[in-house]
């Protein structure tokens, strides 16, 4: 396991980022101010009329032009990520953008005319750090975690979930999700389904467990800790990824911090979650890693794993995964 934020020791030497109002390759940042008041409808509503754009990125340029992985997980884009990154890269629904966090900065690379170009993005003039960004299945929400206070007077000791809304090519000011969500002590990867349901990690019960909050009528209902088919009291659960149609849930389970993390899956059947099981490669071996994410086209599993004592993004074809995980589309 790896969790080491260098924000405190490098606060004064962070890479220069584009300012609010600047034109970004991954969208334009709106130059508007917003208070910290939570507004679920602005932060994560999924418009019913939203339609997915067709994938127009040529096959040879998809996934940064990397050769597809073989039968075992491979390091993803080794030369593109030469140093430490803090989250699994996530792609937009049309595969034209990729987001990740790097030393508390929000990074994005976007393809134009066959060229991938990378920038740091600053979504606000406020002093955010950006951790574990997740792009919604419909591509119009970017969620992330930050110690920035969600309410006035908050000391910023725990992480909160924030959401930025995209209208056309413009990103709006990030908005904190409501206190029913952000009162939980959370860390690392969150995930959202196409209907807005939010899956995240909480230790509210004294254990690292997965929880879900249903999005109804523009607001979140109270979060519910998932049952024992998902959460094992003897181990730590973290890093959820929910399928866009909520048909399956991927996550990491770990007994300790020694690097023995393994990726698990549970399927939704008749409205209930099946008992989580380890996912396995075609050769029967399990996958040691954290923060699993499935690509929008349902072709690849991405996760963070150790290679040569370095924490790196890995990927593997879903065709090599057991039990089978079929491609799904947002409802």
Task: Give the confidence band of 105 by pLDDT, cuts at 50, 70, 90.
Answer: confident
* Average pLDDT of span 58-77: 93
pLDDT at 45: 41
Decide: 244 and 194 in contact? Cβ < 8 Å.
yes
Question: By CB neighbour count within 10 A (0-12 exposed, 13-18 middle, 19+ buried), where does 120 fall?
Answer: middle
Dist CA 269 CA 237 (whole Å):
21
Residue 34, pLDDT > 50, answer no
Coil, strand or helix: which one is 40? helix
Query: Measured in whole angstroms, how far is the alpha carbon of residue 117 from the centre of its chain?
Result: 21
- On whether the 69-322 domain is CATH 2.120.10.30, my answer is yes
pLDDT at 35: 44
Residue 168, pLDDT > 90, answer no
pLDDT at 157: 62
pLDDT tens string 267-311:
999 999 999 999 999 999 999 999 999 999 999 999 998 776 777
Domain ranges of the chain: 69-322
CA angle 32, 36, 38 (to 5 degrees): 110
Total-model pTM: 0.84
CA atoms within 13 A on the CB side of 236: 20
CA atoms within 13 A on the CB side of 201: 23
């Amino acid at each position: 396991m790896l969790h080491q934020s260098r924000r405190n020791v490098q606060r004064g030497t962070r890479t220069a980022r584009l300012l609010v109002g600047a034109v970004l390759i991954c969208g334009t940042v709106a130059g508007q101010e917003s208070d910290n008041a939570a507004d679920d409808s602005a932060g994560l509503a999924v418009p019913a009329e939203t339609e997915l754009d067709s994938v127009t990125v040529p096959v040879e340029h998809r996934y940064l032009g990397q050769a597809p992985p073989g039968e075992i997980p491979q390091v993803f884009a080794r030369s593109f990520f030469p140093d430490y990154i803090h989250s699994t890269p996530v792609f937009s629904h049309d595969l034209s953008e990729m987001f990740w966090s790097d030393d508390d900065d929000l990074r994005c690379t976007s393809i134009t005319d066959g060229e991938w170009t990378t920038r740091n993005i600053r979504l606000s003039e406020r002093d955010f750090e950006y951790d574990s960004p997740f792009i919604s299945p419909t591509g119009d929400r970017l969620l992330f975690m930050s110690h920035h206070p969600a309410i006035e007077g908050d000391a910023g000791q725990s992480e909160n979930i924030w959401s930025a809304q995209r209208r056309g090519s413009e990103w709006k000011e990030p908005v904190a999700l409501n206190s029913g969500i952000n009162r939980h002590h959370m860390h690392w990867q969150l995930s959202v389904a196409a209907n807005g349901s939010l899956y995240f990690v909480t230790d509210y019960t004294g254990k690292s467990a997965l929880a879900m909050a249903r999005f109804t009528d523009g607001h979140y209902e109270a979060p519910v800790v998932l049952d024992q088919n998902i959460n094992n009291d003897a181990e730590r659960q973290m890093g959820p990824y929910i399928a866009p149609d909520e048909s399956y849930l991927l996550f990491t389970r770990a007994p300790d911090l020694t690097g023995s993390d393994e990726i698990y899956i549970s399927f939704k059947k008749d409205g209930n979650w099946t008992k989580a099981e380890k996912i396995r490669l075609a050769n029967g071996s399990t996958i040691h890693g954290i923060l699993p994410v499935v690509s929008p086209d349902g072709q690849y599993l991405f996760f963070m794993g150790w290679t040569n004592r370095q924490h790196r993004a890995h990927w593997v074809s879903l065709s090599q995964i057991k039990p089978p995980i079929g491609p799904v589309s947002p409802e």
